[in-house]
Amino acid sequence: MVGELEFEKPLIELRKKISELKEFTKTADVDLSAEIEKLEARLEKLENETYANLTPWDRVQIARHPSRPTTLDYIQRLFTNFFECHGDRLFGDDEAIVGGIAKYDGLPVTVIGHQRGKDTKENIRRNFGMPHPEGYRKALRLMKQAEKFHRPIICFIDTKGAYPGKAAEERGQSEAIARNLFEMAGLTVPIVCIVIGEGGSGGALALGVGNHIHMLENSTYSVISPEGAAAILWKDASLARRAAETMKITAPDLKALGVIDEIIPEVRGGAHRNVDEQAKAIDHVLKQSLKELLALDGNALVEQRYQKFKQMGKFTVSRDYLGIK
């Protein structure tokens, strides 16, 4: 298996040992089947324990796995007739975001998502999935088009964040993100958002103002990367593991905080182990969401979305009045 992760090392070693023993029995004249059986049982147990007790940092590693399925991997498996649309009609085409029209079980939809590359060459073309303003403006153009033709919108979220660069600032990165938040709030068609990898800050949220928000089990969604948080909090980016825990960025955390609707279970060991199976799990939840949302009219959808975000946040009332006298 390619791209094993740090926490999987004990499993790898055990697996190696078992295959070594198996090889050995083939050539040598000894029966080790009892031994092998024992080890296989131990592997099974260890696998269960490891994958059932993933730490936030383990999940960060899975979310960042180089072969983790991307937006286009899921589009290919979940939709038919996908036609990609390019450009924001203002400046250019940002390949860090893909979007277009497709059919979902016969239903016309608009699909948009952040798009990482699978290798260095593609990553350079797609700017590692970190959009510029034109990417967000393309997304908004496609969302407005979806509204015009009464198509539901499905957004896949998978970015480290909006690109921090000179050109991005010059062209209004802030305004582009703000405009998407603003306009998405008023769209009269269903919007379903699914975090499939990393959900990095405002750059993720700019595709995230949905009626339903779901997260894959091992994806993350946060205001700042664990490394960034550690650098600011403890002046030490190497404390990212601790920051990943403190910042509460995993799917179960976000569910508990009332930010997301469903946690979409992942294939054991992570979505990259079986993309087809993972797509099926997404399909199941997406279908439920759309069924529910298609029953609502435009006004009800706007109201539901507004109420959803309105309840996010925790505050209380102080007894000591300190306001302006």
Binding site for other proteins (CB under 8 A): 162-166, 168-175, 177-179, 181-183, 185-186, 201-202, 205-206, 208-209, 221-224, 229, 232-233, 246-249, 253-254, 257, 259, 302, 305-306, 309-310, 312-319, 321-324
Give me the count of residues in the chain. Answer: 325
Give 82 or 128: the residue with its C-beta nearer to other proteins: 128
N-terminal to C-terminal alpha carbon distance within the chain:
67
Give 159 or 173: the residue with its C-beta nearer to other proteins: 173
Q: Shortest gap between Cβ of 179 and other proteins (angstroms)?
A: 7
Q: Shortest gap between Cβ of 8 and other proteins (angstroms)?
A: 27
- Phi–psi pair at 101, nearest 5 degrees: -110, 155
Give 112 or 206: the residue with its C-beta nearer to other proteins: 206
Say how far apart CA 192 and CA 148 lie, in whole Å.
17
Give 112 or 168: the residue with its C-beta nearer to other proteins: 168
Contact 59, 250 (CB under 8 A): yes
Say how far apart CA 75 and CA 70 lie, in whole Å.
9
Structure-block tokens of residue 222:
């946060």
Structure-block tokens of residue 132:
């510029």
Give 18 or 249: the residue with its C-beta nearer to other proteins: 249
Say how far apart CA 193 and CA 212 lie, in whole Å.
6
Q: Shortest gap between Cβ of 5 and other proteins (angstroms)?
A: 24
Question: Which contacts (CB < 8 Å, 24+ apart) does range 35-39 have?
Answer: 39/14
Give 254 or 264: the residue with its C-beta nearer to other proteins: 254
Q: Shortest gap between Cβ of 287 and other proteins (angstroms)?
A: 25
Q: DSSP letter string over 116-181? A: --SSHHHHHHTGGG---HHHHHHHHHHHHHHHHTT--EEEEEEES-S---HHHHHTTHHHHHHHHH
Give 107 or 232: the residue with its C-beta nearer to other proteins: 232
Q: Shortest gap between Cβ of 268 and other proteins (angstroms)?
A: 26
Contact 157, 113 (CB under 8 A): yes
Helix (H, G, I), strand (E, B) or coil at 63: helix
DSSP annotation of 237 reads: G
Q: Shortest gap between Cβ of 27 and other proteins (angstroms)?
A: 55
Q: Shortest gap between Cβ of 256 and other proteins (angstroms)?
A: 10
Q: Shortest gap between Cβ of 300 and other proteins (angstroms)?
A: 14
Say how far apart CA 83 and CA 120 lie, in whole Å.
25
Give 32 or 181: the residue with its C-beta nearer to other proteins: 181
DSSP annotation of 265 reads: P
Contact 114, 156 (CB under 8 A): yes
Q: Shortest gap between Cβ of 118 and other proteins (angstroms)?
A: 22
Say how far apart CA 147 and CA 167 lie, in whole Å.
30
Give 56 or 69: the residue with its C-beta nearer to other proteins: 56
